[in-house]
Amino acid sequence: MAYIPGHDEFPMEKEVSEMFDRYRAPWGGLDNILGIHALLPDTLEPHMVLYRQLMFARGPLSRRERELIATVVSTANNCDYCIHHHSDALDRVTHDRPLALAVRMNFHNADLSEKESAMLRYADQLTRHPSAAHRELLDELRKLGFTDEALLHLCLVTAYFNFVNRIALGLGVELESYWGKDGFSEPSQRMAHD
């Protein structure tokens, strides 16, 4: 149980309950990271708008790149909740479980392109050392073909996962019951991050 009550621990007004129902995942329930907003329900929709824009809308970064960033940031923060969700999403996007496992363990040892490695070094550095000088890494990324729009997207996705990791860690958000012993969901079950 989380450190504060979630959506299923007290009665909600009909309008609020219906809003939470709109965000139910294809597996039939509400992911716990969303249910934790129950005490301040007006924060749920802006959170979801930002998440969907950064992770699913058209943009300069591919879905693979976005899930790589999410997994690396979550690993740097030791956020099991988001490591599970986003290495699972990476596996679903790439159909490459060994890659998802390698990134989850240590992205430096994963089979990545030069561009992906540099991108993840930036995300890792920004997470672990936010006040460090990041210009050199940004210049390296430009040389590898990143546009300024892609650099902004990279920074926003990195910042978002630092934000959501701190929600999960700070409030003790627990994993849902559907996770397998290997830390992945059942491949035949559709997930919210599909």
Cα 14 to Cα 189: distance, rounded to the nearest angstrom:
29
Q: What confidence score (pLDDT) does residue 6 get?
A: 82
Q: What confidence score (pLDDT) does residue 85 get?
A: 96
Q: What confidence score (pLDDT) does residue 29 get?
A: 80
Structure tokens at 118: 């540099």
Mean pLDDT of 185-190: 84
Does 10 score more than 80 pLDDT?
no
Mean pLDDT of 151-171: 98
CATH T-level fold of 61-170:
AhpD-like (1.20.1290)
Q: How many CA atoms lie within 13 A of 158 on its CB side?
A: 20
3-state secondary structure of 123: helix
Does 58 score more than 80 pLDDT?
yes
Mean pLDDT of 47-69: 97
**pLDDT tens per residue, range 80-96:** 999 999 999 999 999 99
Does 174 score more than 70 pLDDT?
yes
Does 5 score more than 90 pLDDT?
no
Cα 97 to Cα 4: distance, rounded to the nearest angstrom:
34
Cα 78 to Cα 73: distance, rounded to the nearest angstrom:
9
Q: What confidence score (pLDDT) does residue 20 get?
A: 79
104 touches 96 (CB < 8 A) = no
Instruction: Write down the mean pLDDT value for the chain.
Output: 93
Query: Angle formed by the axes of helices 63-76 and 148-170, to 10°?
Result: 40
161 touches 82 (CB < 8 A) = yes
